Chains A and B, each alone.
Chain A
Amino acid sequence: MELDLGPDIAEFRADLRAWVAAHAPAGLAELTDWQSIGVTGGYRPEGLAAAMADPRYQEWERELVDARLVCPQWPAEYGGQDMDAVRIAVLNEEFARAGVPRVVRGMGEGFVGPSILVHATPEQKARFLPRIVSGEDVYCQGFSEPGHGSDLASVETRGVVDGDEIVVTGQKVWTSGAARANMMFVLCRTDPDAPKHSGLSYVLIPFTGPEVTYRPIRQMTGAAEFCEDFLDGVRAPLANVIGGLNNGWRVAMTTLGHERGGRATVGHLRFEQEFWALVDTARKYGRHTDPLVRQQLAWAYTQVQLMRYSGVRTLAQVAEGRQPGPEASITKLFWSEYHKRLGEIAMHVVGTAGLVRPDGDGYPTTEWQNVYLASRSGTIYSGTSEIQRNIIAERALGLPR
């Protein structure tokens, strides 16, 4: 069933569908399984890097930039087209339907941009946002530190003002995409004497040069998708401080709380694909007739459909002009806890076959071994399940702090 979003949106959808059909390079959809991109700890689409290096992807990227369909939610003056969340949702649905990728600018689009749009000066917006749209600036996140994860406001990385520059020194950790990034958005302490939430600043620093070193952290999966970073007097202009000195906590919270529902109706797709892959695996191992396995598969399918129904409901609320609040925490808690359980179910389905890894250098794993191991991270990163439950209890239910 499709949500009735009114004639304007129906027209937008039809136009967009025609545009995609006319502009998507032939063969783009077949390059890889684009819809599973961004699954940390999921299904890793095979050959993603090769697909993104393909001329057809590059051509598609140019088409989208020219059509202002990269960061389309941003104002026109910075490269977007002020697209609202409902149209973003339709955009995601239509791209998924056609099997073509959205070109997304990672943390620059999802984290830095929203904070800049809310807190930065017009000059800062004009300087930083277009560079994110074009892909010139690729950001990584400098929030967590070895001693400070959930208690983010206690970060110790120092930011010292020196003339018209700020000098950042400290250690950050759990940085994904460090190798691709040329910029880092960092939360650092600029007033050590202020209460912990009041002495922080949000700074965009260059993530290049001899003052920056990083090294990969090998995870329990055997892969190394995150880094730890050493910032040794990294200099940035004071104009790179967003929201003003010592106002970083508010800016960072904008980043974390930014969820407008644009992905509400496509978030379940990767889990749906994964579910049917597990059904295939169950059949392959002759496990699909086992009553317990059938219960587990039906449970998993139920969870995926609940994500879909809730997504449609969220979109309906956004279309009514309501801003999603603690729903973002509920969504994150739901899928991350689901995915851990799905990994356990998958290993139950494959049974003792899951005890043996494929041969090869390093620590290669099967698809389900990888899901089983990698899904443990989902309930930890971007706010642990415990933090999400605190947010839900305090902000949605009003329980006392």
Chain B
Amino acid sequence: MRLAESQEQRELRASVRKFLADKQPLTAVRELMDTPSGYDPAVWRQACGQLGLPAIAIPEEYGGAGFTFVEQAIVLEELGRALYCGPYFASAVLAANALLCCAGEQAKQAHLPDIAAGETIATLALGDEELAAADDAGTWRLTGRRDLVLDGAVAGLVLVATDESLFAVAADAPGMTRIPLATLDQTRRLAAITFTDTPATPVGPAAGLAKALDRAAIALAAEQLGGAQAALDMAVAYAKTREQFNRPIGTFQAIKHQCADLLLEVESTRSAVLYGAWAVTDDSDELPTVAPLTKAYASDTFSHAAAENIQIHGGIGFTWEHDAHLYFKRAHFDQQFLGDPAAHRERLAQRIGI
């Protein structure tokens, strides 16, 4: 484990940040919020082709770039900071790790190279809604539903988890209906998917899914870290320039102390995300504890930072025009997605033997 950021990692961070600032600033995010698909295919293609972002943590034997999860966490932090709209998390985190942790060799070879190249947008349909898998004369068929599937409407490959198995369902599979949902956070897209005798290919047992979801929890925490840092940066910048009573509001301790508490939380989240990213990279037995606690804490941090950012901005922070609400809504999405803080703390309690 080497926690200090290397020169190479700093350059990666800088290039992703510049790419997002150029190609998808918050003005572009706002335009995408109003489009049906919610993302810009041209920017996605560049992110995949020119930067190779989905490939980053996928092993080279499956068409990936063979960097580690530590580098992917840097990418995710930058995506979170920029409120990137697109299927990166669904495809390069959820689906890729579900395949890496559950799938047999054949399924990995079949899907991971296309995910790495961005040719396939994949997602993972999670949930505990009713869903049955039946072997129909050699063809598995799914019947049931998954109500909240990240980027479920745009995915070309839907991985479906049942209690026993992970299945792959092609975008054009008969009997699959996908309904895009109006999301509170318009920078994230969800779809409700129903399956009626939908043919599906089993890709492996679901036993590995817990590890895939632990990795996803840390990945989401990395995005939350980026969002929280952005919200804190906005609040601090505003507190330095906004004047009331003939002085910057940042001179008031009521503002200072809020910002100081947020920095403590953001820096603590950063420590946990870094440590967690190394736990993934080293395939450490600490992953089952570091994952839930990191997701729980990152959720609390981002929610707090996004809320406080609105408060510190005052009236302007409550407007649609100001970007503060975009982070507030993203924070809420991330807090609930993949399990809320209380669920992760309960999971942690169980895993440490309480």
Contacts and interface: CB of A to CB of B under 8 A. Distances in A.
A254 interface: no
Given A305-B290, A306-B297, A399 B268 contact: no
B286 A400 contact: no
Interface residues of B, number: 44
B260 A392 contact: yes
Contact of A297 (B248, B256, B354): B354
Contacts of B275: 1, 309, 312-313
B348 A298 contact: yes
B354 A279 contact: yes
Nearest to A316: B3
A388 B290 CA distance: 28
B271 interface: yes
Given A309-B271, A319-B4, A295 B263 contact: no
A219 interface: no
B4 A397 contact: no
Interface in A1-25: 1-4
B4 A316 contact: yes
Interface string A300-338: 011001100110110011011000000100100110000
B255 interface: yes
B34 interface: no
B239 interface: yes
B349 A294 contact: yes
Interface size class of A (residues with CB under 8 A): 35 or more
Interface stretch (B36-44, B63-71, B172-180, B277-285): B277-285
Interface string A375-394: 00000000000101110111
Contacts of A291: 346
A97 interface: no
A285 interface: no
B346 A295 contact: yes
B268 A310 contact: yes
Contacts of A299: 345
A309 B279 CA distance: 11
Contact of B251 (A298, A319, A399): A399
B293 A334 contact: no
B354 A294 contact: yes
A313 B240 contact: no
Interface in B8-58: none
Contact of A301 (B240, B264, B279, B348): B348
Contacts of A392: 260, 263-264
Given A3-B2, A298-B348, A397-B236, A310 B263 contact: no
A398 interface: yes
Contact of A389 (B1, B261, B274): B261
A1 B282 CA distance: 8
A212 interface: no
A401 interface: yes
A288 B253 CA distance: 39
Interface in B301-354: 342, 345-346, 348-349, 352, 354
A144 to B, nearest CB: 21
Nearest to A333: B264
A224 interface: no
Nearest to B3: A316
Given A1-B286, A297-B349, A401-B251, A310 B293 contact: no
Contacts of B286: 1
B264 A334 contact: yes
B345 A295 contact: yes
A399 B296 CA distance: 29
Contacts of B272: 305-306, 309
B263 A302 contact: no
Contact of A330 (B267, B278, B342): B267
Contact of A305 (B239, B257, B289): B289
Contacts of B293: 298, 301-302, 305-306
A230 B263 CA distance: 41
B250 interface: yes
A294 B261 CA distance: 25
B256 A389 contact: yes
B208 to A, nearest CB: 21
Nearest to B273: A309
Contacts of B248: 400
10 contacts: A3-B3, A4-B2, A295-B349, A309-B290, A310-B267, A313-B274, A334-B264, A386-B257, A389-B260, A394-B256
Given A306-B297, A313-B274, A333-B260, 12 more contacts: A1-B275, A1-B286, A3-B3, A295-B345, A306-B272, A306-B293, A310-B271, A312-B1, A312-B275, A327-B267, A393-B259, A399-B256
Question: Which 8 pairs from chain A and chain B are nearest by CB?
Answer: A316-B3, A298-B345, A393-B256, A389-B260, A392-B260, A399-B250, A309-B275, A310-B271
